[in-house]
Amino acid sequence: MRTAYRCRAYPDATQQAMLNRTFGCVRVVWNTILATRQERYATKCQGTSYGQASVALTAMKKDPQRAWLNEVSSVPLQQALRHQPQAFAAFFANRARYPRFKSRQGRQAAAYTRSAFTLHDGQLRLAKTPGLLAFVWSWPGIDVAGLDPTTVVVAKEPDGRWYVTFAVDASAPAPAPGTGQAAGVDLGITSFAVTSNGQRIANPRHLERRARNLARYQRRLARCQKGSANRAKARAKVARAHRKVRDARRDFLHKTTTRLVRGHDLIAIEDLNVAGMVRNHRLARAISDCGWGEFRRQLQYKCQRAGRQLVVIDRWYPSTKKCSACEFLLAELSLSTRTWRCPSCRLLHDRDLNAAKNILAAGLAAARGFPGDACGADVRHLEIPPVQSAVKQEPQLARAGIPVPQDGE
């Protein structure tokens, strides 16, 4: 199992100058090879292999106008050539956007493999970088002296902070003890999540709480002259404001997912089309502020490490319009209707809680070893090899019924 440890780094002035020079060389190599790759495909309809990119890098180093490429370690430059095909593979697999040209205003990073760094007794030394790189280890339970990383990534964020990441090939942890509990999770905006046992997780709305300060910093940035030192300072303040929002959101998601994974053997969630939902301009900011995609990603890898089971219900499963008691299926249900009474069994439902119960029922029916009576065909298994979905299902009658909000009930 591959894991990574990210720490704050504190390079001195000389090291910062060398690392900034390395970032610039990596950026030039990435942009040049990406432009060559695009031109080759446009003119000859041919791709560019790693060998061809490596030959191009050798020619760039021999060019007298780019002799400064030889002043930095060659390992980060070679790693940039390896990362570019991976970026295109992720794009064609619909996991990432099309690879873009790197800018000096964004995040800067350089990757060092084992031949370009040494880590002895917790002291890190990088190739062609003078002195030891100081960093703060943030995991008391893990001895940094016994760490054997395969890759070290040094990065500088737009807000000016430095980080070093150690990628390690570690053994898989032992499965967590079973709890005998299962939960269905319905994600939303009013409440970030509602579980099938009635627990409501409030939406912290991190971006909304800091939007006023962020807007003030952005107005100051817009008034600065381009290329000036004041504009660079204003840009750093905007980046710091974004970093505070990002860190608060990530901390909230980590605590929420860890609590769910520790307390349940099975977790069922919906397969939300977040990319399509953010096209709604009225709800785009609120949906993006929730971080549903990151929530699912963290649940997925934490369940895998803890030996839990994560079941993803198909996005077309009518979890909201279906009665969790008698399985009556509504014809329509508006987004503004938060409570509705089942026309069949007359049971009053909370919209989110009813959806969480239906998600749990579908997840239990599809999971192995868990009893359930719901149809489990609209379920996506996160297993290898994937479980084939059922072909036939019992017909569900969609009878007409428009819910009427019951005020005061």
In the three-class reduction of DSSP (H, G, I as helix; E, B as strand; rest coil), residue 123 is classed as strand
Give residue 91's identity as a one-letter amino acid code: F
Residue 130 to residue 389: CA distance in whole angstroms: 58
Residue 280 to residue 123: CA distance in whole angstroms: 50
Rg over alpha carbons for the chain, rounded to the nearest Å, is 26
Residue 257 to residue 254: CA distance in whole angstroms: 5
Phi-psi group of 206: left, alpha or beta (phi > 0 → left; psi -120 to 50 → alpha; rest → beta): alpha
- Active site members: 186, 270, 352
Give the length of the chain.
409
Phi-psi group of 67: left, alpha or beta (phi > 0 → left; psi -120 to 50 → alpha; rest → beta): alpha
Residue 376 to residue 393: CA distance in whole angstroms: 9
Cβ contact 217:237 at 8 Å = yes
In the three-class reduction of DSSP (H, G, I as helix; E, B as strand; rest coil), residue 2 is classed as strand
Q: Any bridge partners for residue 186, and if so which?
A: 194
Give residue 87's identity as a one-letter amino acid code: A
| Helix (H) or strand (E) run with residue 395 in it | none
Give the residue carrying structure tokens 């998601």: 253
Torsion sign, CA atoms 58, 59, 63, 69:
negative
